[in-house]
Amino acid sequence: MNYISTRDSSIKVSAASAIAKGISTEGGLFVPESIPALTSEDFSVLCKMDYPARASFILGKFLGDFTAEEVDHCTNGAYKGTFDNEKPAPLYNLYGDVDILELWHGPTCAFKDLALQILPFLLTTSASKVSGGKKTVILVATSGDTGKAALEGFKDVDGTEIMVFYPSEGVSPMQKLQMDTQEGKNVSVYAIKGNFDDAQSGVKRIFTDPEMGEKLKENNMLFSSANSINWGRLAPQIVYYVSAYCDLLNGGKNPENGFNVTVPTGNFGNILAAYYAKLMGVPVAKLICASNANKVLTDFLETGVYDRNRSFFTTISPSMDILISSNLERMLFEISNRDDKKTSQWQKALKDEGKYQVDADVKAKLDDLFYGGFCDDEKTKETIKAVYDKYGYLCDTHTAVAIAVYEEYKAKTGDERPAVIASTASPYKFAASVLDALGEKPSNDEFETVEQLSKLTKTTPPAPINALRGKEVRFNNICEPENMADAVLEYLNIK
């Protein structure tokens, strides 16, 4: 199984190389040469397995140059004893045929843990095959959750250094605290004066800057990415959609006509994984793409025009405050029948003019696959309250966006097929907004707010949140987006 680039499909590299590099030299994203198909026998076998074994089964198909032992080493290291639930990605029945896929039982309480607990294993295994003893320097742009999850995953991992850049005004107090107090001898954290897109563009610029690449090489280092542009981030996300299907079957549900999947979407990584699961044979029906007020994807799915020239909103679902959804590139590559020329043109237009329009045939395929909807902060809060009052279920702001858009989809279309809604963060990660939604005034102190939420809802805050109390702040670096490269050189102590 080799990997090709979305912008030049003549570029072909091994899985280890795709993961070690993170992004193709000309700026394209790596995708598998072909998508492995799962048979009904495969599903019967998968249904009997626990999560780490399911992950080995699925990931083994994508990791052509890994041995079975290496794959098991990665999945066991990532998923055994690291999540607060026996199942890392359990289903919670909200009502009837609607299940919540809870993806926040990991060490940083957001769905990024499912991928970032395993990425360090995948990356160090890959590097040992292809990087000839070079140190791997991970650069991360984060809208809040990736940063912390990557720091936790990579802290004190031999042969790696990790640097995280987050928008100074764009993360929740808890997210900021989680990152600024990070432990580990190979970690560094920066607040960027700008938004997530500025941080992401800055990181991409450094990755593709030949001069920076050369400097690292001279010092026996190389860059890699822990963002979902790295295939090593994406592949583990496919696993939980396969696993959710197995759990539906094990729970006696057989969605004969498929099941709908709703995903609160930002960078388009999570929903893309659901699409790949569908291509592998999981009977996913509609992919429901839920956005907040930054509804560039809703508009794109409606009109076929992707246009980032618009106001940027800071919302109560900050991990979705994104106007450039990087992984859409992989999606467009796939549904244009892997047309690397067109994919490059669209991405170039996005870079140069901030917009592009897809062809009619691509638009027709999008219509068939997707429904796009959005939900503003007011509606997000209403949804948190309604879901709590009606079902006794406490959800975070991102999950609420997904639930609201799903209900809107169902009301509009009458599509009553079974549904899985991805829940991407613990409500305690956004305690102030959640408490406010329930009609109580949050305290100015983040931990008192956590206490209030716990008392009001008689739920227990996750242990990693409690553990932040009184922890020493280690980082308070602030950086202009254009100075990110200098920050990297300075941290690495190279000229």
The interface region with ligand PLP, picked from 162-170, 219-227, 263-271, 353-361 by CB under 6 A, is 263-271
Residue 137 in contact with ligand PLP, rule: CB under 6 A: no
Under rule CB under 6 A, residue 431 binds ligand PLP: no
- Continuous segment of H or E residues that includes residue 421: strand 419-423
Q: Is residue 172 near ligand PLP by the rule CB under 6 A?
A: no
The Cα 5–Cα 27 span in angstroms is 9
Q: Which stretch binds ligand PLP (CB under 6 A): 241-249, 266-274, 339-347, 351-359?
A: 266-274
Window 372-411: contact mask with ligand PLP (x via CB under 6 A): --------------------------x-------------
Task: Mention every residue, 6+ apart, whose C-beta is less than 8 A from residue 202.
Answer: 141, 165, 192, 481, 482, 484, 485
Q: How far is the CB of 112 from ligand PLP (least distance, A)?
A: 6
Looking at beta carbons only, is 127 or 324 nearer to ligand PLP? 324
Min dist CB 128 to ligand PLP, Å, is 28
Angle at 378 between CA 374 and CA 381, to 5 degrees: 95
Separation between Cα atoms, residue 196 and residue 143, nearest integer Å:
5
Contact call for residues 429 and 395 (beta carbons, < 8 A)? no
Q: Which stretch binds ligand PLP (CB under 6 A): 85-93, 187-195, 261-269, 376-384?
A: 261-269
The pair of three-digit structure tokens given for residue 291, joined into one six-digit string: 């956005």
CA distances from 234 to 26, 437, 470 (A): 20, 32, 34
Surface-to-core class of residue 185, CB atoms within 10 Å of its CB (0-12 exposed, 13-18 middle, 19+ buried): exposed
Pick the catalytic residue from 21, 112, 365, 429. Answer: 112
Query: Rule CB under 6 A: is residue 112 a binding residue for ligand PLP?
Result: yes
The nearest distance, CB 387 to ligand PLP, in angstroms, is 16
Decide whether 130 or 271 has the Cβ nearer to ligand PLP.
Answer: 271
Q: Report the candidate in 207, 215, 265, 163 with the shortest Cα–Cα distance to residue 28.
A: 207
Measured from the CB atom, the residue of 16 and 116 that comes closer to ligand PLP is: 116
Are 268 and 325 spatial neighbours (Cβ–Cβ below 8 Å)?
yes
Measured CA distances, 29 to 25, 221, 236 (Å): 9, 21, 16
Q: In the complex, what is the shortest distance from the CB of residue 492 to ligand PLP, in angstroms, rounded to a whole number?
A: 27
Q: How far is the CB of 311 from ligand PLP (least distance, A)?
A: 20
**Does residue number 102 form part of the binding site for ligand PLP (CB under 6 A)?**
no
Count the residues of the shown chain that bind ligand PLP, applying the rule CB under 6 A.
16
* Nearer Cβ to ligand PLP (162/222): 162
Cβ(111)–Cβ(236) under 8 Å?
A: no
Interface segment toward ligand PLP; rule CB under 6 A; list 118-126, 192-200, 259-267, 343-351: 259-267
Q: Does 108 bind ligand PLP (CB under 6 A)?
A: no
* Cβ-based nearer residue to ligand PLP, 124 or 195: 195
Quick check: 424 binds ligand PLP (CB under 6 A)?
yes
Q: Does 464 bind ligand PLP (CB under 6 A)?
A: no
Q: Can you tell me which of 108, 319, 383, 452 binds ligand PLP, judged by CB under 6 A?
A: 319
Q: What is the enclosing helix (H) or strand (E) of 410?
A: helix 397-413
229-230-231-235 Cα dihedral, nearest 10 degrees: -90
Binding flag, residue 148, ligand PLP (CB under 6 A)? no
Residue among 182 and 319 whose Cβ is closer to ligand PLP: 319
Q: Among 425, 435, 453, 488, which residue sits at the site for ligand PLP (rule: CB under 6 A)?
A: 425
Ramachandran angles phi, psi of 35, nearest 5°: -100, 120
Is the CB of 71 or the CB of 293 nearer to ligand PLP? 293
Interaction between residue 233 and ligand PLP (CB under 6 A) = no
Q: Return the number of the residue (103 or 216) whose C-beta is nearest ligand PLP.
A: 103
Contact 113, 107 (CB under 8 A): yes
**Tokens standing for residue 350:** 């996005």
Write each residue from 267 to 286 as x if it is in contact with ligand PLP (CB under 6 A), else as -, in one continuous string: xxxx----------------
Is residue 434 part of the contact set for ligand PLP (CB under 6 A)?
no
Contact 145, 176 (CB under 8 A): no
- Cβ atoms 177, 446 nearer than 8 A: yes
Buried b / exposed e across 187-221, counting CB within 10 Å, b at 16+?
bbbbbbebbbbbbbbbbbebbeeeebbebbeebeb
The least CB distance from residue 159 to ligand PLP, in Å, is 26
Cβ proximity of 105 and 78 under 8 Å: no
4 burial type by CB count under 10 A (0-12 exposed, 13-18 middle, 19+ buried): buried
- The verdict on whether 112 is a catalytic residue reads yes
Q: Which residues contact 455 (CB under 8 A, 6 or more apart)?
A: none
Q: Is 88 in the site for ligand PLP (CB under 6 A)?
A: no
Q: Give the one residue of 106, 266, 461, 481 binding ligand PLP; rule: CB under 6 A.
A: 266
Q: Residue 260's beta-bridge partner residues?
A: 419
Q: Which of 90, 153, 202, 264 binds ligand PLP (CB under 6 A)?
A: 264
Whichever of 106 and 269 has its CB closer to ligand PLP, that residue is 269
C-beta closer to ligand PLP: residue 14 or 327: 327
The residues of the shown chain that bind ligand PLP, judged by CB under 6 A, are 110, 112, 145, 228, 264-270, 319-320, 398, 424-425
Tell me which residues are annotated as active site. 112
